[in-house]
Amino acid sequence: MTYKLSQITKKINLDFQGNDIDIDGIHTLSEATSTQLSFFTDKKYASQLPYTKAAAVFIDAEHVKLLPSSTIALITDEAYLKLALTSKFFAHSIGTQKEKPTEGKNCDIDDTVRFGSNVTLGDEVVLMAGVYVGDNVTIASQTLLYPNVTVYHGTSIGKNCIVHAGTVLGCDGYGFAHTKQGEHVKIYQNGMVVLEDEVEIGANCAIDRAVFGQTIIRKGTKLDNLIQVAHNCDLGEHTLLAAQVGLAGSTTLGRNVIMGGQSATAGHLKVGDFTTIAGKGGVTKSLEGGKMYAGFPAIEIKLWRKMQAVLMRLVKNH
């Protein structure tokens, strides 16, 4: 989908100066191309403004001077709200159209499976009763989807994956912009979900699609039941997540991270390779790899144990 910039700005009540160029999507300042829009809402990203390749940026008047001359300034004091309104232009068209998939050899597909359009299956794919596979989905060879798995449009699943009953891949991330009157405006989630090879996901998990770009679960990662992975998360290879783990948006986990039951992360942080987070641990800032953490906020477990011992002595002596 491509729109003239003037089509978009007219709909969201903005003016601009510059050429009426074609726009085909939205992305971050660092990732946007010369045919995409971007946005600036946080001063910590100001250093990215001079280097963005975006065609145009929603931005406040104060920071316009930092944009390169090739980028059109869309001046507004509600950049995030204008992003939300614009995201609808590029949303996938939801419908009930169904087509027969392109199917590899020796697949086993239950009669109750429902397909959207442009679905591709590899060899020996098994889809059990009640599975739904949306538009533009790819499922590679030897992958098994248990009953009532839902795969939203644009999802990519690798080889030798297992997805257990009731899990949803590619549902919308929890993203809203807010008006000055306190109303909540949906940010359409126009990215995708990618499962690399040999990933296993337990029952009743929710893996949210990206706002733009990808939510990605890398090779060999295993998820227990009842896990939430929010939009734009990146889970490193061979990571293990126990039941009821919750990852907030744009969390990046390194390779071989282990998270105990009911542990969780705040958004936009990184957890280093070979990190272990004990059950119920709450990660509120980025963590160095190769260590074990516990508590809320999560700290190195040796320190956490000392704190617990001191607290116990205080209680006993009270």
Supply the residues annotated as catalytic: 231
Cis status of the peptide bond prior to 101, with omega within 30 of 0: no
Asked if residue 236 lies in contact with residue 259, where contact means CB atoms within 8 angstroms, the answer is no
- In sequence order, which ranges of the chain are alpha helices (DSSP H)? 5-11, 79-87, 301-317
Q: Which two tokens stand for residue 216?
A: 């990605």
Largest CA distance in the chain: 75
Asked if residue 137 lies in contact with residue 117, where contact means CB atoms within 8 angstroms, the answer is no
Residue with tokens 């890398």: 218
- Return phi, psi of residue 11, to 5°: -65, -35
Residue with tokens 């948006």: 249
- Return phi, psi of residue 308, to 5°: -65, -40
β-partners of residue 256 are none
CA 221, chain centre distance (Å): 16
3-class secondary-structure state, position 47 = helix
Specify the amino acid at residue 202: G
Cα–Cα distance measured from residue 309 to residue 304, given in angstroms and rounded to the nearest whole number? 9
Q: Which two tokens stand for residue 148?
A: 């009532």
Asked if residue 121 lies in contact with residue 104, where contact means CB atoms within 8 angstroms, the answer is yes
Residue with tokens 């909540």: 184
- Return phi, psi of residue 217, to 5°: -115, 115
